[in-house]
């Protein structure tokens, strides 16, 4: 099970990376029409030394 989150919760650099990656993938696939895609941004990490993912995976819906 995944949780849908907004781009605002990711931070500026991660949000830019998510949007850029989604757009590049759409260009590679030859998509010409706008399309809603879900991008997995992983689970939030626990503030520990090992920084292991804690909880469910998160996805962001992006229009590309």
What residue spans define the domains of the chain? 2-63
Q: What percent helix, strand, coil does the chain show, rounded to 5? A: 35, 30, 40
Over range 24-38, report the average pLDDT. Answer: 83
Over range 34-47, report the average pLDDT. Answer: 75
Residues with Cβ within 8 Å of 17's Cβ and at least 6 positions away in sequence, in order, are none
Mean pLDDT for the chain? 78
Over range 9-16, report the average pLDDT. Answer: 85
pLDDT for res 53? 57
């Amino acid at each position: 099970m995944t949780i849908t989150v907004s781009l605002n919760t990711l931070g500026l650099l991660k949000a830019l990376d998510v949007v850029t990656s989604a757009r590049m993938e759409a260009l590679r696939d030859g998509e010409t029409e706008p399309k809603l895609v879900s991008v997995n941004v992983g689970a939030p990490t626990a503030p520990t030394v090992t920084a292991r993912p804690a909880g469910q995976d998160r996805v962001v819906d992006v229009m590309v």
